[in-house]
Amino acid sequence: MSADPTGSPVVRPTALYRVTLYGSAWHVVRPEKSLAHAFTGLDQALAFVRADSDGAEASVELLVDGLYMLKRISPVR
């Protein structure tokens, strides 16, 4: 957390990725919603999020069989 010129704390929003299970593939949609990537396993999908977030904390929406979960992940496992 940092401060703005007035000294008020500035909270930086975390990137929000969406991970959805379609059939047997895990689809990852990046925060810009410009491109989706498919992976065969959830571990691969989360590894992609960690790498793509470029060392920053990220939030992940996980959608599986109608179940919704929001998880914050750090870049280091």
DSSP per-residue string spanning 8-47: -EEPPPPEEEEEEEETTEEEEE-TTSS-EEEESSHHHHHH
Q: Read off the pLDDT of residues 15-64 as tens digits, 9 standing for 90 and up.
A: 899 999 999 999 999 888 777 899 999 999 999 998 888 878 889 999 99
Mean pLDDT confidence for 7-19: 73
> In the structure encoding, which two tokens stand for residue 65, read together?
């069989």
In a domain, 1, yes or no: no
Provide the domain count of the chain. Answer: 1
**Count of positions (residues) in the chain:** 77
Domain of residue 68, residue span = 15-73
In a domain, 7, yes or no: no
Compute φ and ψ for 16, nearest 5 degrees.
Answer: -115, 115
d(CA 44, CA 42): 5
d(CA 71, CA 77): 14
In a domain, 8, yes or no: no
